């Protein structure tokens, strides 16, 4: 079986400059504990840094580059400060450029993740198992399910959710072509980046009213409290069906790696 390759995209910012602690190193530690860096499923990581005054908070990445030299971790920097909205827009512009210059061809899926999350055991194997068995049947999918979902008839471990219920970019997965739907209307859509994304998808695919999601979440938001914005500190969201960092949901079973 041909291997599926993932582009893991993580927008990030030096949170200490926004008045809250940096936690991205905790996310990478969870990736490591969840077996990401030793997985046989191919992937690259792209960090979209939002123009922080100092990016020394990402120095810890060198440790992972040394320990896992076969893993490509790219830091996409920016010369001027961006907020979460404009940085997300830039991320999708970058994807479209990769499509145009054909460097996106090596990736089957983009996995859009937050910089403050925890993951389950065998995270990438489970992600790949989900995408091969069920996720590819959905216009996009999310392995972080903090919104209402309902049992689907196709399998006991599969739920469906209405697209208008979706929020939370902790682990949103889509085929690269979907990136083309986002930049043109991104800023005219209301809501935060996750809502803007799904509203752009709804605009281009109005008949796609539902997505498939797993019955359990593979990912948990750290709920570190999204950074201060214009003097207001926003609280994070939470998934009540997270399987746990020490549990394996076993969606990879039956998949030949």
Q: Residue by residue, what is the 3-state secondary structure of the chain?
A: CCCCCEEEEEEECCHHHHCCCCCHHHHHHHHHHCCHHHCCCCEEEEEEECCCCCCHHHCCHHHHHHHCCCCEEEEECCCCCCCHHHHHHHHHHHHHHHHHCCHHHHCCEEEEECCCEEECCCHHHHHHHHHHHCHHHCCCEECCCCCCCEECCCCCCEEEEEHHHCCCCCEEEECHHHHHHCCCCHHHCCCCHHHHHHHHHHHHCCCCCEEEEECCECEEECCCCCCCECCECCCCCCCCCECCCCCCCCCCCCCCC
Q: What is the pLDDT of residues 97-127, one digit of tens each?
A: 999 999 999 999 999 999 999 999 999 999 9
Of the pLDDT bands very low, low, confident and very high (cuts 50, 70, 90), residue 237 is: confident
Reply yes or no on whether the pLDDT at 1 is more than 50: no
Distance CA 78, CA 64 (A): 22
Determine the distance from the C-alpha atom of residue 239 to the mean position of all C-alpha atoms in its chain, rounded to a whole number: 15
Q: Quote the pLDDT of residue 3.
A: 80
Q: What is the pLDDT of residues 19-30, one digit of tens each?
A: 889 999 999 999
Q: Quote the pLDDT of residue 231.
A: 57
Domain ranges of the chain: 6-221
Kindly report the pTM of this predicted structure. Answer: 0.95
85 phi, psi to nearest 5 deg: -70, -55
Give yes or no for a contact between 85 and 169, defined as CB atoms under 8 angstroms apart.
no
Distance CA 35, CA 37 (A): 6
First to last CA, the chain: 7
Q: What is the pLDDT of residues 142-181, one digit of tens each?
A: 999 999 999 999 999 999 999 999 999 999 999 999 999 9
Whether domain 6-221 has CATH 3.30.559.10: the reply is no
Burial class of residue 203, CB neighbours in 10 A (0-12, 13-18, 19+): middle
């Amino acid at each position: 079986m041909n291997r599926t390759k993932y582009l893991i995209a993580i927008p990030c910012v030096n949170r200490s400059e926004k008045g809250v602690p940096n936690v991205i190193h905790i996310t990478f530690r969870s990736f490591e504990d969840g077996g990401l860096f030793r997985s046989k499923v191919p992937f690259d990581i792209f960090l979209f840094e939002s123009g922080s005054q100092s990016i020394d908070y990402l120095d810890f990445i060198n440790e992972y580059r040394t320990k896992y030299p076969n893993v490509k971790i790219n830091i996409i920097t920016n010369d001027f400060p961006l907020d979460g909205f404009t940085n997300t827009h830039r991320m999708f512009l970058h994807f479209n450029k990769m499509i145009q210059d054909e460097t996106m061809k090596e990736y089957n899926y983009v996995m859009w993740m937050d910089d403050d999350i925890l993951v389950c055991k065998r995270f990438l194997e489970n992600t790949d198992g989900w995408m091969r068995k069920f996720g590819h049947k959905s216009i996009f999918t999310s392995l972080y399910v903090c919104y209402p979902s309902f049992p689907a008839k196709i399998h006991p471990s599969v739920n469906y959710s209405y697209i208008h219920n979706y929020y939370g970019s902790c682990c949103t997965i889509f085929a690269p072509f979907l990136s083309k739907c986002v930049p043109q209307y991104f800023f005219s859509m209301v809501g935060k980046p996750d809502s803007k994304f799904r509203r752009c998808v709804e605009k281009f695919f109005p008949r796609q009213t539902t997505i498939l999601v797993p019955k359990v979440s593979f990912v948990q938001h750290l709920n570190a409290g999204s950074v201060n914005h214009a003097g207001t500190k926003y609280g994070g969201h939470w998934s009540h069906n997270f399987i746990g960092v020490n549990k394996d949901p076993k969606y990879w079973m039956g998949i030949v790696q």
